Amino acid sequence: MSLSDALIHGANVLYLFSYLVRDILWLRFLTVVAIGILMGYFVLESAWVAFGWNAIFLLINLVQIIRLLAERRPVDLAPREERLYQLAFRGLTPREFEKLASLGTWCTEPEDAELVTEGAALDALRVISEGQAAVQVGGETVATLGDGHFVGEMSYLTGDPTSAAVRTTCETLCLSWERDALERWLDDHPSVRSSLQRIVGADLAAKLRRAM
């Protein structure tokens, strides 16, 4: 058997195995190796057009392999993210939450900081990670919000001005998302939008139950 024959048979045996595997990463990996061998065959045969096309296929598969590996790497949430995930975002996958959290801004508010102004248009959605805040109507506290509670979700949902003010009662760690940026991102991630809706819906239902 000539070297050319060995290369073409070797490449096709690898293609055959690539079609048998179900895991897309292994399929691409075997394909890349097969293409590499096939390109050796095209060099021997001076088939430069076929060599060029296969170089493109090789590049596409390598890029996709890098993307797949990046998607499969373990999610490594920071301790504060892990805590908030367990508190309020278990409806998302850890990777979805990692992306969502990276879109937001962590901020530590001092005691008596105004998170929400009564009657104002709200341009952000916040969630309390650690701390406490008082919901005040006309200066009177009507409810308290604690770890894992959303702040301003009704205004976020309706677009209406806020119905109350929210002030921290101790140093409070929050994660907040700017409304427009969050909406744009959710447009590109419909499954996260659905999950986030269910989380906000459950939070809203729980608050309504407490208020009754």
Partner 1 sequence: MVTLDEPLPEAVLALPVERPDGEPCALRDVLQPPAVLVVLRHFGCVGCDQQVVNLRPHLSMLAELGFSVVMVGNGAPEHARWFADRHHLPARGVTLVTDPSHTVHDAMGLVRSVWSSFGPRGLLGWARAIGRGYRQGGFLGDGRQQGGALVLDPRGVVRFLHRSTAIGHDPDAADLGRHALRVAAASARNAGHREIV
Binding residues for partner 1, per CB under 8 A? 116, 122, 135, 137, 142-143, 151-155, 157-158, 160, 162-164, 166, 190, 193-195, 197-198, 200-202, 204-205, 207-208, 211
C-beta closer to partner 1: residue 108 or 194: 194
- Smallest distance, Å, CB 20 to partner 1? 21
Asked whether 131 and 112 are in contact (CB, 8 A), the reply is: no
C-beta closer to partner 1: residue 24 or 202: 202
Asked whether 153 and 61 are in contact (CB, 8 A), the reply is: no
DSSP secondary-structure letter at 88?
H
* CA distances to 102, 107, 182 from 188, in Å: 15, 26, 10
- Smallest distance, Å, CB 114 to partner 1? 12
- Smallest distance, Å, CB 141 to partner 1? 9
- Smallest distance, Å, CB 8 to partner 1? 34
C-beta closer to partner 1: residue 52 or 201: 201
Which secondary structure element, helix H or strand E, spans residue 125, and what is its range? Answer: strand 124-130
Distance separating alpha carbons of residues 95 and 92, to the nearest angstrom: 8
C-beta closer to partner 1: residue 55 or 120: 120
Asked whether 16 and 27 are in contact (CB, 8 A), the reply is: no
